[in-house]
Structure 1
Amino acid sequence: MSISRQRANQHLSRLLESHSLQELASRLAPRSDTPAISIPKHHHTLTSGEIAKRWHALGVSAEIQAQLLDPQTEQQYRSYQHNIENFIGTVKVPVGLVGPLRVNGLFAQGDFVLPLATTEAALVASYSRGAQLITEAGGCTAMLLSEGVSRAPGFAFENLRDAGLFVAWAVTQEEQFRLAAERTTRHGKLADLEFTVEGNHVYLRFQFLTGDAAGQNMVTIATQAICDYIIATSPLKPKYYFLEANFSGDKKASLQSFLAVRGKKVTAEVLIPGPMIKTHLHTSAAAMVDHWRMAAIGGVLSGTIGVQGHYANGLAALYLACGQDVACVAESAVGVTRFEQTENHDLYAAVTLPNLIVGSVGGGTGLPSQHACLEIAGFAGADKAQAFAETCAALCLAGELSIVGALCAGDFARAHQKLARG
């Protein structure tokens, strides 16, 4: 990552205003003294005594401790046993409601109220406006297109010949791979296997169905079992291997998103009559299409993966409220928004998200506040994950309509001024 000579010089000049070059170099040198603080480390069993020891080590005031370890959290601390290490308390994030959001999906049917946890003013208001618009238009159509969670181990061999012979063996072992994987889980199923050879490296991309769980841990454990089988039985032993070789797309945006699926691939559409756009968004279908066209080119010019306005806003807030792996927003927020004006001057709007990593069981979904939010949304428990994914796409569609409407009407800065600073 380069920096221009002018900016480098400006940055160095600011640093030298308060320190000499020798002092700056000294600050960057390694230190061998004992750290000033030592935090009692995680044990397999969470106890109130361990929590107290960590707070004592921090040496902060009782007032600060009370903000994180409030009476309810202290009473419920055992609930967090399998979701956190070095536990000291909980952080409270404001939760607001979006809805009703009408979804006409293969799995999601009805008017949904979604809790969003965020510290960003105007976000809930914006998504609520989009949800109201979709609902008044009769709801959006949503369709789950595909699903599967991947893990991609990589194997290194002496040469390309050995790599090729390994692949020739591995293609005959899919049933054994399936048996090894499915011995580790009651819910996961090995659905597909892809091979990629690069020189003497082989990447195996395993695709699993994970039921109602987001499935990140499930596929990791299952893939480890497959790797153990490979090491034990392969006639060609790799020099070394890694359980994940950065080929699955885990927690990052990648071009692979549009070629396959990781999580749940969902598309949603809605037709908004022109008069509704004028009433609710104070603009027109033509203006929104003009913005979409310019924003699409802007996305291409800036190198974004996908073309969309702000999927990450709604997904991060929903994931945080409902006990999802928030880091998965890095890949879940990849997608494409499309606007078109019809002959009747109505607006056709669609979103497609290929990497929605969501679950209605497992992970953080069982924590007290997060489970309560899932109950409010109607997605707690078994047989709800597919409907949850379709509703995620509907939420993103609501957000796209609202933000583009605000930009077209000149309301974007004014809304943030009013709600965030007013």
Structure 2
Amino acid sequence: MSPRDTLTVEIPSRWVGPLRISGNAIDDEVEVPLATYESPLWPSVGRGARVSRMIEGGIRATLLDARMARSSLFVAPDAAGAFAADQVLHEREEELREAVAGTSRFARLIDVHTEVVGNLLFVRYALTTGDASGHNMVTHAAEALQALILSWDLGLEYGSISGNYCTDKKPSAVNGDLGRGRRVVADILIPHDVLEKTLRTDAKRMVDLVVRKNLVGGTIAGSLRSANAHYANMLLAIYLATGQDAANIVEGSQGITYAEEREEGLYFSCSLPHLIVGTVGNGKHLAHVDEALERLGCRAEREPGANANRLAAIIAATVLCGELSLLAAQTNQGELMRAHRSMERGRGSAAQRPAGTPGEEAQS
């Protein structure tokens, strides 16, 4: 590649927060980097972050699972042959685990799922991949597994190293069902007075909007395992700032916002079943990415996977901040557009305003 083929793209970026986050992967206050052309996103997430600092424990981020998946495709003579081979695969899973362990210091096979369609056998491998997002690691492991399985002389032929049953960078149901990436739930209990003073709304209006907009509106739109307002906004902004594969927001933005009106206030949660992120690997060597991960506390000496788990928890909390602020704005007629006009068409753009100016009160 010649120097003329190299292109550097400038994306406006800001640190927002800090967010107060607790849970099984992090207990800290952190600022988060957001790279975006949608300037109102910074004060929007900032308002949610301010709410988190007003509550003991802030946002609770619970890491439920961590894995990466790759599916391989085999071709059998017929369905009976595919089914017979399927039985052998499950009987010899220990051999598959040993083969995966031999491909990497960090890759470990934790699950195998299969589907037979006609004479086609789809085999979906799930691996733990340490602090890497794991795309290349699982493909490398799948190559070794495919060669091993074909050597067993089960009447199978090579179909594809990736059979789309993974599934990568496409909306699907399988990733929500079986997992791919980090599965995280971020939730918070916001007292009534904080709702009124900081978000200018109340628990009933918020719950009504979550049900009517996200759940019902999303259903009639045909959303797939997804009911949220704008997870993709926060995901893309923090993915770009931390060197993630931005295309993974396709499945990452499939998540569900849920809310309840309680005596103490508003219970509000964001469930993200497949956050595909890593703190090592492609792009993580870049100076601005390295600085961002260092400042986020994701470069510390921890057991394999702990830094990526911390990053996933931070991202889930960031999503909650932006989701909370946007929905609160939409409970008040006219507020959303006023905020955008103020931020994007005022005397200066949000990127030019110093933190703490009136624009901080607006929301996306």
TM-score normalized by structure 2? 0.90
Aligned AA (1:343): E
Question: Deviation per CA, 1:184-214, whole angstroms, max 9, x where unpaired?
Answer: 2111111111111112111101000001111
Aligned AA (2:242): C
Question: Deviation per CA, 1:81-136, whole angstroms, max 9, x where unpaired?
Answer: xxxxxx51321211111111011110111101101111112011101111111221
CA distance in 1, matches of 2:87, 2:267: 48
CA distance in 2, matches of 1:188, 1:406: 44
Aligned AA (1:379): C
Q: Cα offset for 1:178? A: 1.9
Q: Does 1:421 align with 2:345?
A: yes
Match of 1:90 in 2: 8
Match of 2:229 among 301, 306, 309: 309
Q: Secondary structure at the match of 1:251?
A: coil
Match of 2:201 among 259, 278, 283: 283
Q: Secondary structure at the match of 1:153?
A: strand
CA distance in 2, matches of 1:257, 1:420: 37
Match of 1:350 among 259, 269, 293: 269
CA distance in 1, matches of 2:84, 2:179: 28
Q: Residue 169 of structure 1 contacts residue 234 of structure 1 at CA under 8 Å; is this kept in 2? A: no
Q: Per chain length, whose mean CA-contact separation is higher, i.e. which structure has more relative contact order (CA < 8 Å, sep 6+)?
A: 2
Q: Residue 316 of structure 1 contacts residue 329 of structure 1 at CA under 8 Å; is this kept in 2? A: yes
CA distance in 1, matches of 2:175, 2:76: 28
Match of 2:330 among 399, 403, 407: 407
Tell me how large the CA RMSD over aligned residues is.
1.4
CA distance in 1, matches of 2:337, 2:311: 32
Q: Secondary structure at the match of 2:216?
A: helix
Match of 1:33 in 2: none
Q: Residue 166 of structure 1 contacts residue 234 of structure 1 at CA under 8 Å; is this kept in 2? A: no
Match of 2:285 among 362, 366, 382: 366
Match of 1:118 in 2: 36
CA distance in 1, matches of 2:9, 2:345: 23
Q: Residue 70 of structure 2 contacts residue 124 of structure 2 at CA under 8 Å; is this kept in 1? A: yes
Match of 2:90 among 163, 171, 174: 171
Match of 2:357 in 1: none
Match of 1:210 among 104, 129, 142: 129
Match of 2:55 among 121, 128, 137: 137
Where structure 1 has 5 or more consecutive residues not aligned to the other structure, the ranges are 1-41, 43-49, 56-86
Match of 2:21 in 1: 103
Match of 1:266 in 2: 184
Match of 1:326 among 232, 237, 246: 246
Aligned AA (1:230): I
Q: Cα offset for 1:310? A: 0.8
Q: Residue 74 of structure 2 contacts residue 156 of structure 2 at CA under 8 Å; is this kept in 1? A: no
Q: Secondary structure at the match of 2:32?
A: strand
Q: Cα offset for 1:372? A: 1.1
CA distance in 1, matches of 2:156, 2:71: 18
Q: Cα offset for 1:218? A: 0.6
Match of 1:294 in 2: 212
Aligned AA (1:415): A
Aligned AA (2:70): R
CA distance in 2, matches of 1:90, 1:222: 33
User: Percent of counterpart pairs with the same letter?
Assistant: 36
Q: Residue 218 of structure 2 contacts residue 227 of structure 2 at CA under 8 Å; is this kept in 1? A: yes
The structure richer in helix per residue is 1
Q: Cα offset for 1:279? A: 1.0
Q: Cα offset for 1:172? A: 2.3
CA distance in 2, matches of 1:303, 1:212: 34
Residue 175 to residue 234, structure 1, CA distance change in 2 (3 Å): farther
